[in-house]
Amino acid sequence: MIVQAINNVCAKAPAGVDMYTDLLLSWVKYGVGVVIIAAGFISVGALVVGKLGSMSRAAQLGASGLIYAVLAAVGYVTIYGILSAIVGNC
């Protein structure tokens, strides 16, 4: 039995499906980015309204939401970089 090395194994979509997978992945990628940005703006708005309107609970939720939005953005960039490093460009 001869064991040969397997080099450059890349996952590829079946023929004719490339356009749809690229479209789906781009919608997911930009959709998640939009959700993170919207969450950041909503959190800043809640923080400002809570501070100006003397609503401490709204300000607290806005501050924690802003922290979660920043953490989600960092995780988004990190996970995307890790997946790009693993999969690579074939």
User: Does the model's pTM come out above 0.85?
Assistant: no
Q: Give the model confidence (pLDDT) of 47-68 as tens digits.
A: 999 999 989 999 999 999 999 9
First to last CA, the chain: 30
Q: Give the model confidence (pLDDT) of 26-45 as tens digits.
A: 898 899 999 999 999 999 99
Do the Cβ atoms of 69 and 47 come closer than 8 Å? no
